[in-house]
């Protein structure tokens, strides 16, 4: 995620903070300062920082639960509207998805119980609607905030935690893809309601509603697209008609190839047929500007290109390509020779072909 800085690492997961989060802190400080001067501002900021420590702990509840099922998480990012843990995938087995989803709210429950029972923090439920007011103690307000985080995250608005539990329950009845679509529709309906409630007085709720709305459609689209790739192998979807570059080629050679072909990425393949790296159009153009045409492609190409065998399941390849953003994956035969490659664009084409085919089948069935 852009616009964020890394704070620290916790056993392989980076904790990042989005720069807009500092806007939230500044806003909170300003509001409290205007009400009660510097002491009040410090109190307000301390509360927000404490709240977000709890949000990070909540996200690590998900991270450690997912790790039990062999799922890694590269980072947890703090946004003004909450935390996002980028799990490498969600478990598709309903019982595992429920365990991962509930682990976050469970952390907030534990924090609230510890604050109230062990440390004697006091809060009453009527305070929960007015968290920004500073009458009660800091600890009491943080305990109340954790109860609110617990309740809020359990609302079944996919992709929030409660929505994931809902999706997992629906999966048992209707399968993963249809369950995701149903849960996403319910999530978007709830997001519209949140949005209206937010317009009546809570701007943060409007932001959260927009976030849920977009995330729900994004994830439903992803699951649907991935579903179309199921049952295929990497060799079914790879680009096989391409012009490679040899390792001795220069940026000028690559520029000539860019004009001669419709390719936007050029695999660099050595004499043994092995993939050494990939040169993209963007890198090529930048190198022409900054380094000149005589630069060897070996110096500027992306060497960190994943490789899969021809027999790899395409739905797994789909995850690998998507995770890298504008990704590319090399496909090799049993002797490690490059036989093709798969890009985001050509996966999108496969999805278009498959969705048109299935639309036609549905039409035929309806006629
Ligand atoms: Zn959560």
What percent of the chain clears pLDDT 70, i.e. is strictly above it?
93
As a whole number, mean pLDDT of residues 260-268 equals: 90
Please give the order of strands across the beta sheet that includes 13-18. 4-10, 13-18, 73-79, 82-87
Q: What is the pLDDT of residue 140?
A: 81
> Where residue 348 falls among pLDDT bands split at 50, 70, 90?
confident
Question: What's the 134 CA to ligand 1 centre distance in angstroms?
Answer: 26
Question: What's the 91 CA to ligand 1 centre distance in angstroms?
Answer: 15
Q: What is the pLDDT of residue 124?
A: 61
Question: What's the 9 CA to ligand 1 centre distance in angstroms?
Answer: 19
Q: At which residue do the structure tokens 């450690």 appear? A: 64
Q: At which residue do the structure tokens 């439920």 appear? A: 125
> Where residue 65 falls among pLDDT bands split at 50, 70, 90?
very high
> Where residue 111 falls among pLDDT bands split at 50, 70, 90?
very high
Question: What's the 108 CA to ligand 1 centre distance in angstroms?
Answer: 10
Is residue 66 scored above 80 in pLDDT?
Answer: yes
What is the DSSP annotation of 265-288? EEEEE-TTS-EEEEEEHHHHHHHH
Q: What is the pLDDT of residue 104?
A: 95
What percent of the chain clears pLDDT 90, i.e. is strictly above it?
29
In the chain the first and final C-alpha atoms are separated, in Å, by 46
Q: Is the dihedral of CA 189, 190, 191, 193 positive or negative?
A: positive
Question: What's the 160 CA to ligand 1 centre distance in angstroms?
Answer: 6
Whole-angstrom CA distances from 64 to 1, 8, 12, 90, 342 are: 21, 17, 11, 13, 32
Task: Record the pTM.
Answer: 0.72
Question: What's the 311 CA to ligand 1 centre distance in angstroms?
Answer: 36
Q: What is the pLDDT of residue 324?
A: 62
Q: What is the pLDDT of residue 130?
A: 52
Please give the order of strands across the beta sheet that includes 328-332. 307-309, 328-332, 338-343
Average pLDDT, the chain: 86
As a whole number, mean pLDDT of residues 244-263 equals: 90
Is residue 262 scored above 70 in pLDDT?
Answer: yes
As a whole number, mean pLDDT of residues 24-52 equals: 86
Q: For residue 79, list its beta bridge partners.
A: 82
Question: What's the 315 CA to ligand 1 centre distance in angstroms?
Answer: 26
Q: 120-164 pLDDT, tens per residue? A: 666 665 555 555 444 567 888 888 889 888 998 999 988 889 999
**Degrees to nearest 5, angle at CA 292 with 286 and 295:** 95
Is residue 343 scored above 70 in pLDDT?
Answer: yes
Specify the long-range contacts of residues 254-258, CB closer than 8 Å, at least 24 apart. Answer: 254/279, 254/284, 254/297, 255/284, 255/288, 255/293, 258/284
Q: What is the pLDDT of residue 55?
A: 92
Q: What is the pLDDT of residue 134?
A: 45
Question: What's the 89 CA to ligand 1 centre distance in angstroms?
Answer: 15
Q: Give buried/exposed letters for 273-282 (b at 16+ CB in 10 A, else e).
A: eebbbbbbee
Question: What's the 144 CA to ligand 1 centre distance in angstroms?
Answer: 17
Question: What's the 72 CA to ligand 1 centre distance in angstroms?
Answer: 16
Please tell me the distance from the alpha carbon of residue 338 to that of residue 358, in angstroms, as a whole number: 32
Question: What's the 130 CA to ligand 1 centre distance in angstroms?
Answer: 22
Q: For residue 331, list its beta bridge partners.
A: 308, 340
Is residue 97 scored above 90 in pLDDT?
Answer: yes
Question: What's the 147 CA to ligand 1 centre distance in angstroms?
Answer: 13
Give CA 121 to chain center in angstroms. Answer: 35
Q: For residue 342, list its beta bridge partners.
A: 329
Q: What is the pLDDT of residue 64?
A: 94
Lowest mean pLDDT among 19-33, 98-112, 113-127: 113-127
As a whole number, mean pLDDT of residues 51-58 equals: 92
Q: What is the pLDDT of residue 121?
A: 65
Q: pLDDT: is 295 or 321 the higher one?
A: 295
Residue 62 has a CB neighbour count (10 Å cut-off) of 27
Question: What's the 107 CA to ligand 1 centre distance in angstroms?
Answer: 9
Question: What's the 111 CA to ligand 1 centre distance in angstroms?
Answer: 14
Q: pLDDT: is 33 or 137 the higher one?
A: 33
């Amino acid at each position: 995620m852009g616009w964020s800085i890394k704070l620290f690492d916790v056993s392989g997961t980076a904790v990042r903070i989005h720069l807009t989060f500092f806007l939230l802190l500044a806003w909170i400080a300003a509001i409290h300062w205007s009400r009660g001067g510097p002491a009040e501002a410090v109190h307000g900021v301390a509360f927000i920082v404490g709240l977000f420590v709890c949000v990070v702990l909540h996200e690590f509840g998900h991270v450690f639960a997912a790790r039990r099922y062999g799922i890694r998480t590269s980072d947890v990012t703090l946004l003004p509207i909450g935390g996002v843990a980028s799990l490498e995938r969600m478990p598709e087995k309903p019982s595992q998805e429920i365990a991962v989803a509930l682990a976050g709210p469970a952390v907030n429950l534990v924090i609230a119980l510890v604050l109230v029972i062990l440390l004697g923090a006091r809060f009453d439920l009527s305070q929960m609607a007015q968290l920004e007011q500073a009458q009660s103690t800091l600890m009491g307000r943080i305990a109340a905030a954790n109860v609110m985080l617990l309740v809020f995250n359990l609302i079944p608005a996919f992709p929030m935690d409660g929505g994931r539990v809902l999706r997992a329950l629906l999966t048992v009845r209707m399968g993963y893809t249809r369950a995701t679509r149903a849960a996403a529709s319910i999530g978007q309906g709830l997001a519209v309601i949140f949005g209206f409630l937010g317009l009546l007085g809570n701007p943060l709720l409007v932001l959260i509603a927009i976030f849920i709305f977009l995330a729900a459609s994004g994830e439903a689209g992803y699951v649907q697209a991935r579903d179309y790739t199921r049952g295929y192998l990497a060799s079914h979807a790879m680009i096989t008609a391409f012009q490679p570059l040899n390792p001795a080629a220069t940026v000028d050679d690559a520029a000539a190839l860019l004009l001669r072909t419709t390719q936007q990425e050029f695999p660099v393949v050595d004499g043994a047929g092995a993939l050494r790296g990939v040169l993209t159009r963007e890198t090529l153009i930048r190198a022409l500007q900054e380094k000149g045409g005589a630069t060897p492609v070996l110096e500027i190409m992306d060497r960190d290109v994943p490789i899969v065998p021809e027999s790899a399941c395409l739905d797994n390849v789909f995850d690998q390509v998507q995770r890298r953003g504008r990704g590319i994956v090399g496909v090799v035969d049993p002797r490690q020779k490059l036989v093709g490659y798969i890009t985001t664009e050509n996966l999108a084409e496969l999805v278009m072909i498959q969705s048109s085919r299935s639309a036609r089948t549905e039409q035929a069935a309806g006629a």
